[in-house]
Amino acid sequence: MKNVYESPLNARYASSEMQQIFSPDMKFTTWRKLWIALAEAEKELGLNITDAQIEQMKNNQDNINYEVAEKYEKQFRHDVMSHVHAFGELCPDAKPIIHLGATSCYVGDNTDIIVMSEALKLVKSKMLVLIKKLSDFAMEYKDLPTLGFTHYQPAQLVTVGKRATLWIQELLMDMEDLEHVIKNMKLLGSKGTTGTQASFLNLFDGDHEKVKKLEKLIAEKMGFKNVFAVSGQTYPRKLDSRVLGVLSGIAQSAYKFSNDMRLLQSMKEIEEPFEEKQIGSSAMAYKRNPMRCERISSLARYVIVDALNPAITASTQWFERTLDDSANKRISVPEAFLATDAILNIYINVASGLVVYPKVITKHIMDELPFMATENIMMEAVKRGGDRQELHELIRAHSMEAGKRVKVDGEKNDLIERIAGDARFGMTLDELNAVLEPKNYIGRSSEQVVEFIENEVKPILTRESLADIQVDLKV
């Protein structure tokens, strides 16, 4: 029996890839890479650091001696210094120059930025796969008429594919924000205790150019083009708010899709995948609950609310540094990514296996289309010599009676039969039924789908390589 709490985000929802990005191994290996980059840059700029010292650090980069670090942390109550000493035990020759001139945020903050950057790239790769899945679905069903809804009341017809473009368009907006944030991720660099670089200026005997070059070299070695131009001790906590704002946007888009799907599944028009042995309810064996979309809704709500954490943290930092951000960051940022990762996994899974029921969709259309077709019927009757005002009143009266028959008596909508039986319209039942062709009421839905996919979606999918992402939901 497991007797300690385990986050459901790890146990049930998030992928192993995202978990690895936020793992201790990733964190502490990156710390060591940063120490190596610092030592290399300092050596290149003239400090007395040897190749042998750097080689010893590189040889032990991935050899994280956790037990030793934990021993030191109990003694020092300082996580960075505990790992400095643990690394130093593995690299005795390099021990004197590890972390030279740096403050804790050199490894802590730069690593956070590197980790978030990697996580954002994984989110982007899954977003691209998702957009491709939904685009294929939109094209497949671009011509299938379906009831549109405003206020969740039947409205003018759209197509199933056209509705899917609304889901995709929101994801494209998220993709724009995501790419902007990825493009503008910057390292903290080597700023020192209050951001003045005083320790490094001292190391290089007052040579400002070498201090500036040091940051540039470190950034290049860590795969970044830029560092923040100025900072306090930390990178601006506004960055965390910006990053989680993007994740919140993705969650919002997924939430909208999941709500639409839950309504469509209730109407029996479109369903999420339902496996052969899947149980919908422990009591009601016949049920096919939209549990995957409900899970999207649930996790999305969490991400949207979680995005408030860095927003509040960013707004309440004091001067150059306070530590009231640390505990919150350790929880809110990784969990936002893990939850967003889970949302995208489920969304991809659902989008890959949507089940459409055209006959049910058509039945719902035909229950409502007689009401929607009345304007066309009235115009045709006027062409045949009828009085527009008189016909309008007749249609209103017939519609009220047909509506009463549907709502009160639970009977079929007989509006068309009523109009056919009214000689003042001068139209036969066959002529009226010809007016009730659903494709006559979808406007440019089909064309809009094709144009949207060609002009908005394909350029993105063409310039990006789609990752081979296989989504295997744990539960």
CATH number at residue 118: 1.20.200.10
Shared domain for 40 and 180, answered yes or no, is no
Query: In whole angstroms, what is the distance from residue 193 CA to residue 239 CA?
Result: 19
Question: What is the average per-residue pLDDT within 82-98?
Answer: 98
Shared domain for 287 and 249, answered yes or no, is yes
Residue 470: per-residue pLDDT = 72
Contacts of 86 (CB under 8 A, 6+ apart): 64, 65, 68, 69, 72
- In Å, the largest CA–CA distance within the chain is 104
Question: What is the average per-residue pLDDT within 70-89?
Answer: 95
User: For the chain, what is the domain count?
Assistant: 3
pLDDT in tens, 172-231: 999 999 999 999 999 999 999 999 999 999 999 999 999 999 999 999 999 999 999 999
Q: Is residue 389 part of a domain?
A: yes
CA distances from residue 434 to 344, 398, 437, 445 in whole angstroms, order as listed:
44, 19, 6, 21
Per-residue confidence band for 64, with pLDDT thresholds at 50, 70 and 90: very high
Tell me the CA end-to-end span of the chain in Å, nearest whole number: 19
Shared domain for 48 and 174, answered yes or no, is no
Q: Is residue 466 part of a domain?
A: no
Active site residue 281: yes
Question: What helix, strand, coil percent values describe the chain, rounded to 5?
Answer: 65, 5, 30
Shared domain for 200 and 235, answered yes or no, is yes
Residue 251: per-residue pLDDT = 98
Question: Using an 8 Å Cβ cutoff, are 127 and 344 in contact?
Answer: yes
Asked if pLDDT for residue 298 goes beyond 70, the answer is yes
Question: What is the average per-residue pLDDT within 368-379?
Answer: 88
Range of the domain at 67: 15-97
Asked if pLDDT for residue 468 goes beyond 90, the answer is no
Residue 286: per-residue pLDDT = 47
Percentage of the residues of the chain whose pLDDT score is greater than 70: 97
Asked if pLDDT for residue 471 goes beyond 90, the answer is no
Active site residue 231: no
User: Which range (39-53, 250-264, 282-296, 453-467) has the least confidence?
Assistant: 282-296
> What is the overall mean pLDDT for the chain?
94
Write the CATH number for 388.
Answer: 1.10.40.30
Per-residue confidence band for 464, with pLDDT thresholds at 50, 70 and 90: confident
Shared domain for 188 and 308, answered yes or no, is yes
Domain boundary among 299, 326, 360: 360
Per-residue DSSP letter, 150 = E
Shared domain for 62 and 114, answered yes or no, is no
Question: What is the average per-residue pLDDT within 437-448?
Answer: 96
Per-residue confidence band for 288, with pLDDT thresholds at 50, 70 and 90: confident
Shared domain for 27 and 114, answered yes or no, is no
Residue 283: per-residue pLDDT = 47
Q: Is residue 109 part of a domain?
A: yes
Residue of 16, 208, 266, 281 with catalytic role? 281
